[in-house]
Structure 1
């Protein structure tokens, strides 16, 4: 089954809000075995909206609308769809009672235009709105299926999950084979190199399929297959995952859609290991990424943002002659990164100490180029390693990539430590 998503709202075209609804619906529809071929954004204009509907009817079996079903005159989705289908509109009594209760409960008068939120197309199935006022609807007409949902994500998501999805499964998906997917997460490798490593699998793919996606500092590969049962699908997906893992064992860190920091937090908490951080150019971004994960309090002991040379000296005992004077290594150096990692580990008494020092830009520092970063990892009763990074991008890109790089290196160190007894489900194999 082919689907098209039509998002309605001039604010989307103006870039005032992001079209996050389309992303959510695409993921949900893929899980149902429905292929989204098109995503369309239309402003609050009846003529253009009807034109979009006519185009979609010719190329999609299922058309989903988000937005344009509120109380104002520019909320035109139901009117345009009714006109396109040659059907009328009427007030749904249960929806109207829902709107009435809302205003009575707040002790404010209801304006007449709010009755529009209870409109449905003739012979359609109303979709109750449990978190808002505007009722949605689902309808089958001349071989096509239509689902109309509200625009606000907090209303759209529960309506789709609790109302629209069951309707689709009952009326539209009786012959569809569900799509099953696994998300494989990679770090320490770029999208182009990853694709090159997997090129033979990609060229030979048929079922399951392989689709790489990149974002800042990591790459995701989605492997998918259609199967009537989950066990049948997992048998195929697990076999392909093992092929991919054998090619990239040092980069595949998880087989579920989780960030690297969650894998690390879970791993260290389970093993009773602790970590601390010393950050210069990233200004606490590494610590924020770790502490954003629930459960991090059991493994993250603390850290220091030592942005200035003075703080590096006072708080972490970096020798002054490392930082200043003739022949000094400078704050952005392998030597300083090593001291920072070792001293923050000793100061906090943790198993691991992490450090980042570099030039995030926009200008150079110490006559060193933008993007030059050193990251250090010190281990109790173990070795201290420092890695030199030469990163590109703007200031924010460099800071994010520095954090991702040190998390990857910590994951590698943990994998080496416990190579033969990985944490179940972590991807550490």
Structure 2
């Protein structure tokens, strides 16, 4: 890159501030800018207020080279992105003929009467670069103002992405003479904590220059992002591969995939490749494990169903857990979990079965504290693998962590199969 380009992303909309929707636009735009070698320095969100929006625009004008604004281009009075930018630019807003024709055509095709305020959506700044929005109504714009490149995009993710990919990113490449490629790969690990992962890779992390490494913990697993800069994507990918191989030589047993893959998808992939079917007997998790399995395309080949047996009676009637076993050990026990998995395997005629029983909380049960969970894995005719866990957190957190731990157990044991 000929020079460092400082970028900023501004989301406009009170709904973002209230947490009614997540600002996924900023996340996506940041990743695409990074791939072009443009550094994002700020993420900002401002509500539907003209004064605050204008104040944010003035502040951004003084600190950034590229400013991408999403949202606030609609037809209603609270869509005030154009009005706030007009206070900064001092430029006239004019109707874009092509956009107006597209808006009118939409209403004609759907036999609807267009309200007058919809004309607002076709307004663009005079002398701006108009980005025709073939996915929606309001066009995007690129405005050059006092050495700063402003980009205005609709807040609808599909429309925003279409305009970014087809118009904005090519404009940036030409405008800034971008020569650096920034490429990232997110390695995903399960069964190892963030602190242990950092310990195992301490010297590699300490000596990082290019590529750089960034550990990122999430619920029940940990990610490690590798980011490389080079003059071409191919060279950057080679740099990543070299470091990735060093990392996996140390902690590869915990690695399940890269980038967007989930542990659920990886487990389904392993079951499919091994030609195995799985079922689950669920108590405290209430069907969440099976729900996550069947939400993945192709799951019908490896999962024929499962059993939710919440009460002790259901465990006895549906899963045939012996009454004497429950009386002696309780439903929250290694013995009950093992029996649930074994009998579910037989009931559904599955190669593998997994069971979940425990105390989600908030009250104790059978003298067991909230967070006490037993998970049993029945692999073919092998002896059951039954583990006890003590999860922290509230009721929903315990249930979520139990399901994630179940996928972890399945993953590590399927690798050995």
TM-score interval w.r.t. the shorter chain? Answer: over 0.9
Q: Which residue of 2 aligns with 1:3?
A: 7
SS at match of 2:37: coil
Q: Which residue of 2 aligns with 1:87?
A: 91
- Residues 142-182 of structure 1: CA deviation (Å, up to 9, x unaligned): 3321110112223323232333233323334x224121111
Q: Which residue of 1 aligns with 2:71?
A: 67
SS at match of 1:23: helix
Is 1:358 the counterpart of 2:358? The answer is yes
Q: Which residue of 1 aligns with 2:107?
A: 103
- Give the TM-score normalised by structure 1: 0.92
Q: Map 1:2-401 onto structure 2 (within 5 A).
A: 2-172=6-176, 174-324=177-327, 328-401=328-401
Provide the C-alpha distance between the structure 1 equivalents of 2:117 and 2:314, rounded to a whole number of angstroms: 62
TM-superposed CA distance for 1:278, in Å, is 0.8
TM-superposed CA distance for 1:345, in Å, is 1.4
User: Unaligned stretches of 5+ in structure 2?
Assistant: none
- Residues 164-212 of structure 1: CA deviation (Å, up to 9, x unaligned): 233323334x224121111111112233333333333222211111122
Range moving further from structure 2, 22-31 or 217-226: 22-31
Question: Any conservation in 2 of the 1:275–1:299 contact (CA below 8 Å)?
Answer: yes
Query: RMSD of the alignment, in Å?
Result: 1.7
Question: Any conservation in 1 of the 2:128–2:141 contact (CA below 8 Å)?
Answer: yes
TM-superposed CA distance for 1:66, in Å, is 0.7
Provide the C-alpha distance between the structure 1 equivalents of 2:145 and 2:338, rounded to a whole number of angstroms: 68
TM-superposed CA distance for 1:4, in Å, is 0.7
TM-superposed CA distance for 1:214, in Å, is 2.3
Provide the C-alpha distance between the structure 1 equivalents of 2:288 and 2:262, rounded to a whole number of angstroms: 15
- Residues 20-77 of structure 1: CA deviation (Å, up to 9, x unaligned): 2212222222222222211111122222222212221222211000111111222221
Provide the C-alpha distance between the structure 1 equivalents of 2:65 and 2:80, rounded to a whole number of angstroms: 22
Question: Any conservation in 1 of the 2:37–2:178 contact (CA below 8 Å)?
Answer: no
TM-superposed CA distance for 1:365, in Å, is 0.8
Moved over 4 A (4+): none
Question: Any conservation in 2 of the 1:182–1:222 contact (CA below 8 Å)?
Answer: yes
User: Unaligned stretches of 5+ in structure 1?
Assistant: 418-429
Question: Any conservation in 1 of the 2:181–2:236 contact (CA below 8 Å)?
Answer: no
Provide the C-alpha distance between the structure 1 equivalents of 2:149 and 2:384, rounded to a whole number of angstroms: 61
- Give the TM-score normalised by structure 2: 0.94
Question: Any conservation in 2 of the 1:185–1:253 contact (CA below 8 Å)?
Answer: yes
Question: Any conservation in 2 of the 1:128–1:163 contact (CA below 8 Å)?
Answer: no
Q: Which residue of 2 aligns with 1:402?
A: 402
